Structure 1
């Protein structure tokens, strides 16, 4: 299907943003991107803008794949630039409160804000990674990107922040299990009993030895990003009056892997 007329801006060209950009170009989409320090390999047809504001001007859809730490700043930068005929997909890994705040900042522009959560590691699937979308304009957004056949599920009657909440709740489980596996493997190796501990872990996850390695390697490779993700989980849980003891341990385990 010809998607030449669809124009997508990608803000943040790190691991996720660069994969999304390159894959969308291969699908025939015109992609403009901005990153203050682009270091990833980008497709030859990628249009690099000089600023976030320049990147979004002609876009039908904006994918904001920046770090959570700069997401508010970027929303402030774009609130007088974005238009009512555009979709702004906030993809940063943050709690629902921040997603709601970004939507409030952008409200005066009339832009259609989508809370778009990335629900799995971006490599190897790239733009075909599963996403979860919420917000009052999510149905219209899914119709807009339908020709691309992306893997996007919608939160029924979901508001901004609902996709982010589901992603972070899921992360308690997945990142928590990964942390336990990493610590168990480290202990097994220290005691010279790696085979034994692999067996114990395998008895709980169906004997999938490759999955054990993926848990360990994934945690090491993506430790910094996942640490920030768990910090967002801690913030979200504390806002509900919960004491995230185990999640703090997961966060600390990831911090140790960075060093």
Structure 2
């Protein structure tokens, strides 16, 4: 791996963006909408594409422009941030962008997807002189709204450097981690930790409640101590308020990430007993009807297991 390079966000700067430096956002879901909103606030000209009319209206309301297709996005943008839900969506949109034939376009692929699928998309775009970077994001949808994201950028270093001013418009830090694909490796490592910390947060809060300690007090006190974690700080309050209906990472989507981590562990013969134990809890969340809820709903699973009403 290349020497780690980190660039952090400085004080907000209003950019004077020319028409040739328009930033496109491909996929306007939870992450994509937050990214586009922050880029608009930072002064960028933003154009986005998503087949969902609700997502389109949200972008237009925020002040962005809506493209009719990924191909149109490729024609108008100098840089594209791709945040997509599946490998099929990535390949389909890569073909559409490639059809624009805009040599020199840089696409930062920020989704959490299998490395082989990202490599396949890269091959499609390479043929047209379009650069694909592997740039997954570390952070939840709630964190994305406040620019509390870290980017694990990998691929052509010169292209990453060209996009640094764009990255600073929606993230707090960018870590350049070397060759294409290293970003996804770091992202899966991060998500392994997230999976465990999310469940351990629920365990600690539930233990306190069973002991008669107010959950809100638990979060306030422990978040600032040695046992705290980012997931404890981010998802602890959601568990306390039981407002997991407002999902920033749906349990159903998280299952995709869990499968990717499981495959990576098997491929590298890496033992991960804590991660394996957490999988059963997320599976139970799916069975308990929490598929569309935030992953903080694992608290409800453990509460039912303890028979605490």
The answer to whether the superposition gives a TM-score over 0.5 is yes
Q: Distance in 2 between matches of 1:147 and 1:33?
A: 15
Matches within 5 A, 1:33-182: 33-40=48-55, 41-44=58-61, 45-69=63-87, 70-126=89-145, 128=147, 129-136=149-156, 138-146=157-165, 149-150=168-169, 151-156=172-177, 158-182=178-202
Q: 1:206 Cα deviation (Å)?
A: 2.4
Answer yes or no: is the 8 Å Cα contact 2:25–2:83 preserved in 1: yes
Unaligned runs of 5+ in 1: none
Whether 1:253 and 2:268 are equivalent positions in the alignment is no
Q: Quick check: 1:60–1:86 contact (8 Å CA) kept in 2?
A: yes
Q: Secondary structure at the match of 2:179?
A: coil
Residue 23 of structure 1 is matched in structure 2 by 38
Residue 215 (structure 1) shift: 3.1
Provide the secondary structure at the position in 1 that maps to 2:99: coil
Runs of 4+, deviation exceeding 6 Å: none
TM-score (norm 1): 0.81
Structure 2 Cα separation of the partners of residues 127 and 59 of structure 1:
24
Q: Which residue of 2 aligns with 1:11?
A: 26
Q: CA deviation digits over 1:78-115, x for unaligned, max 9?
A: 33324221101111112333322221232211111111
Would the alpha carbon gap of residues 210 and 79 (structure 1) be closer, same or farther in structure 2, given more than 3 Å must change? closer
Q: Which runs of 5+ in 2 are unaligned?
A: 1-14, 290-309
Structure 1 residue 50: Cα displacement: 1.8
RMSD of aligned residue pairs (Cα, Å):
3.2
Question: Alpha-carbon deviations, 1:183-241, whole Å to 9, x = none?
Answer: 4544654xx32539959x94995265996463345684324233322222112222324
TM-aligned CA distance change 1:249 to 1:101, over 3 Å: farther
TM-score, normalised relative to structure 2: 0.70
| 1:236 equivalenced with 2:254 (yes/no) | no
Residues 1:60 and 1:211: Cα distance change in structure 2 (over 3 Å): closer
Equivalent in 16, 27, 40 of residue 2 of structure 1: 16
1:22 shift after superposition:
1.6
Which residue in 2 is equivalent to 1:215? 235
Whether contact under 8 Å (1:91, 1:115) holds in the other structure is yes
